[in-house]
Structure 1
Amino acid sequence: MSSGGPGAGMRQAHHAPSYYAATANDTAVRPALDGNIRADVCVIGAGFTGISAALSLAERGYSVVVLEAERIGFGASGRNGGQIVNGYSRSLEVIGTRYGEPAARALGAMALEGGRIIRERIRTYAIDCDLVDGGFFAAFTDKQMNELEHEQAIWRAHGHERLRMVSRADLPAIVRSDLYVGGMIDEAGGHIHPLNLVLGEATAFEGHSGRIFEQSRVVSVDTGTTPVARTDKGSVTCSFLLVCGNAYLGTLLPQISANMMPVSSQVMATEPLDADLAAELLPANACVEDMNYILDYYRRTADNRILFGGGVVYGGADPASVEGKLRPHLARTFPGLAGARIDYAWSGSFALTLTRIPHVGRLTPTVYFSHGDSGHGVTTTHLLGRILAEAVAGQAERFDVWSRLPCYPFPGGRRLRVPLTMLGAWWYSLRDRFGL
């Protein structure tokens, strides 16, 4: 940043050293907030949830300000695997068992909307983010194939007809790996360059007179009748405040962060491969995620790299080596890439809830929040951003479906939540390993 410009003398915030940051379409730095301003709505967090809500509100004619502690898409929104995965981190069957069939029907009716919102915005605002249709769930065992067939039946009961089972014989048309016995393709799934998506949505928001201030960490919040969000250099007074910080919210509002835990996931990108080799490995160009509890996920990029992710670290810490953690999984999946050069490797955190269902609600009649998409954030954040905007506009029916779902603190508090969660993950990983 040039001396004397916006934010002169401040620390320059940078994105993680990812493939996405290296290929971002928009590298402009927005100014930091300096002074006291007013708006109809203030949004904390310029990730998918915050920008989705802000754009939805700006399209409705509201004056909206977004405050971002770092850069647009700095957190999970700009670091994830880029997969458009429909649904939630718990199945509609589990949701029905826990919360009743009316809740399952309501969430089932919304389950494909996030992906539609993404495609709608790409089309409406001509966002260049490498959209490709098609997502594949890969099964290691016959048991996992049976689970996928059961899941297909549940989805069909909720009107999702674009799921197709893939046998072992047909598998080479999707992915060339000896690991799997088959799987299921979701034609409504797909993949994108997530950082370019959120940057494109941010530009669209600014085109509706929205204002974004980067490097403007909110240090305190007045949640009264007329909310105020304060940074080191200024404040925003508003009629409604939307809190969308997710795993990067920190301790700003403990009543929210107590109900979620940051979890880091790792991603790396190989060197550009020969186009024929990339097409041979993933002929359908669908993104892939496997069916294990601690899963791997991967896809082709627009420049023929294999972008490969997986592994989790509960509590949000980065592993000693992202490449060291992921390379054995890449080599197991595609032995021919065992020696491939890795050009980019990075880590990022998402927010996990105990129920694995997003935590949505109100702190006061004028302060709303949405967090904890639990690994299914690309689509769910877009849906919930729109639903936050609906609630601000006085249409809270869908918001209330979500806000009525209970959310609980992790057992053991901050000290024990990580080891207890790791113990549960170890148990499920053991079941995967032995096919139980």
Structure 2
Amino acid sequence: MEHAPIRKPYAGLPSYYAATANRVTERPQLRGEERCDVAVVGAGFTGMSAALELAERGYSVIVVEGERVGWGASGRNGGQLVNGYSRQLSEVRKHYGAEAERQFGEIAREGSDIIRERVAKYGIECDLRDGNSIVGMHDAHMRFLRGRVEEWHRHGYTDVELLEGDAIRKVVNSDRYVGGYYDPRGGHMHSLNYVLGEAAAFEALGGRIFEQSRVTKVDRSARPVVHTAQGHIVANKVLVCGNAYLGDAAPDLSGRILPVSSQIIGTEILGKELLDELFPANAAVEDTRYIPDYYRRTADHRIIYGGGSVYGGIDPANITAKIMPQLLQTFPQLRNVKIDFVWAGNFALTMTRYPQVGRVSDSVYYSQGDSGHGVTTTQMLGRRLAEAIDGQLTKFDVFARLPYIPFVGGKLLRVPYCVIGSWYYGLRDKLGI
């Protein structure tokens, strides 16, 4: 599809997504008292996935959002459907046993399947495309990627294809890589338009969304109450889905994760011919480094290129200066390219890199900390939350029973601890070990 001309960005955000958003709907603030079966805190990927699932099951649901739908990481990310988790399945087996690995593996692709189901069912226009590739820069990366492909095949996902040497050029035409793998059930999309489409589908089923209504407190009694500055919601159950932007609504939950800023630039329109040469398979690409680059082409023939992390959620002073050298290492022929969009957003990191899912009371559930794999994982975990409300706990408990492990050094020292770790693993990447 062709995008509308660039206009005033959605919700004042500077991203490519905000400038090309469709279905821009302003929703009211929460004022006074509202009642419902389930109140959802946060109108991002997790919250809207759960809310839509619950509305489909016949529940009365209200979503309350501090800014606008998709304002946080859900509307600012790389738009990549990367199946799996931030840790490989063999790590699940190592820490939690073979049965946990089997359960994690069984639903490792469910998030991307949910996205495809909803795009088809509700006619969501979000430029969804199939395929993503994880690429390596040296032999150590390729040893890791061969292991990942073997792991995918062991869990029955035999369509994941190892691409060694020049075979990787079928996906990305760059001298930077020595191979990778291709997952046809990965993909990429216009993230903000997807979550806006979920919101529209939810409202069509009778759901209600209140924007510009930051949650200040969640009472966790048997009949929980969600409070904002000008109103409150009395519900039977509450889902807390604020992730890196939860703030003070639930300090005990926000204190368990670390906000991490990731930065992205968007080029000028480069044209179909050039992008067909650089991205022959029109797949999303992510490299294997500890702090990876991730990039893709857009429907209007630009490149969105992201990478870099700042622990603590503080954006660097010059995002273009940080990301542009990486883009030019990948595609040196773009040295004179103009950058039209520059933005950043925070994702929620956990100490274990596995999502945190559970209950803080019999009536209040939460999901957070997708650790950089949120596009697909949030969709799957939104369904887990809805199933739990419906009394189906089997798959919910796969995640809920994982032990919580706090960051080394606590809240005061978690940032320097993570910075030291990133230096160490970054050095290993540079040395090829």
Distance 1:178 1:20 in 2: 29
Query: Aligned residues: percent identity?
Result: 55
Give the alignment partner of residue 20 of structure 1, picking from 17, 20, 39: 17
In terms of mean alpha carbon deviation, does 21-30 or 170-179 score higher?
170-179
Shift of 1:259: 1.2
Number of the residue aligned with 2:387? 390
In terms of mean alpha carbon deviation, does 210-219 or 140-149 score higher?
140-149
Query: Could you list the per-position Cα deviations for residues 60-117 of structure 1 after superposition, in whole angstroms to 9, with x for gaps in the alignment?
Result: 0000000000010011000000000000000000011001111111111111100000
Give, as a single letter, the amino acid of the residue that structure 2 aligns with 1:289.
E
Give the alignment partner of residue 104 of structure 1, picking from 68, 83, 101: 101
1:298-377 paired onto structure 2 within 5 Å:
298-377=295-374
Give, as a single letter, the amino acid of the residue that structure 2 aligns with 1:197.
Y
Distance 2:62 2:246 in 1: 17
1:413-432 paired onto structure 2 within 5 Å:
413-432=410-429
1:163 aligns with 2:160: yes
Number of the residue aligned with 1:222? 219
Number of the residue aligned with 2:123? 126
Residue segments in structure 1 that go unaligned for 5+ positions in a row: 1-11
Query: Could you list the per-position Cα deviations for residues 330-352 of structure 1 after superposition, in whole angstroms to 9, with x for gaps in the alignment?
Result: 11110011221000010000000
Number of the residue aligned with 1:9? none
TM-score (norm 1): 0.96
Query: Could you list the per-position Cα deviations for residues 307-366 of structure 1 after superposition, in whole angstroms to 9, with x for gaps in the alignment?
Result: 000000000001101111101111111001122100001000000000000000000011
Inter-CA distance 226–36: structure 2 relative to 1 (3 Å threshold): same
Residue segments in structure 2 that go unaligned for 5+ positions in a row: 1-8
1:65 aligns with 2:62: yes
Give, as a single letter, the amino acid of the residue that structure 1 aligns with 2:272.
A
Inter-CA distance 210–264: structure 2 relative to 1 (3 Å threshold): same
Distance 1:100 1:351 in 2: 25
In terms of mean alpha carbon deviation, does 273-282 or 62-71 score higher?
273-282
Number of the residue aligned with 2:3? none
1:233 aligns with 2:230: yes
Contact 1:13 1:215 in 2 (8 A): no
RMSD: 1.1
Number of the residue aligned with 2:210? 213
Distance 1:252 1:68 in 2: 11
In terms of mean alpha carbon deviation, does 362-371 or 13-22 score higher?
13-22
Shift of 1:169: 2.3
Give the alignment partner of residue 247 of structure 2, picking from 231, 247, 250: 250
Contact 1:77 1:195 in 2 (8 A): yes
Number of the residue aligned with 1:89? 86
Number of the residue aligned with 1:181? 178
Shift of 1:15: 4.4
Query: Could you list the per-position Cα deviations for residues 14-44 of structure 1 after superposition, in whole angstroms to 9, with x for gaps in the alignment?
Result: 2421000000012211111111010000000
Give, as a single letter, the amino acid of the residue that structure 1 aligns with 2:208.
R
SS of the residue 1:14 aligns to: helix
Shift of 1:156: 1.2
Contact 1:353 1:407 in 2 (8 A): no
Contact 2:10 2:21 in 1 (8 A): no
SS of the residue 2:248 aligns to: coil
In terms of mean alpha carbon deviation, does 388-397 or 248-257 score higher?
248-257
1:259-270 paired onto structure 2 within 5 Å:
259-270=256-267
Shift of 1:13: 8.9
Give, as a single letter, the amino acid of the residue that structure 1 aligns with 2:201.
A
1:130-141 paired onto structure 2 within 5 Å:
130-141=127-138
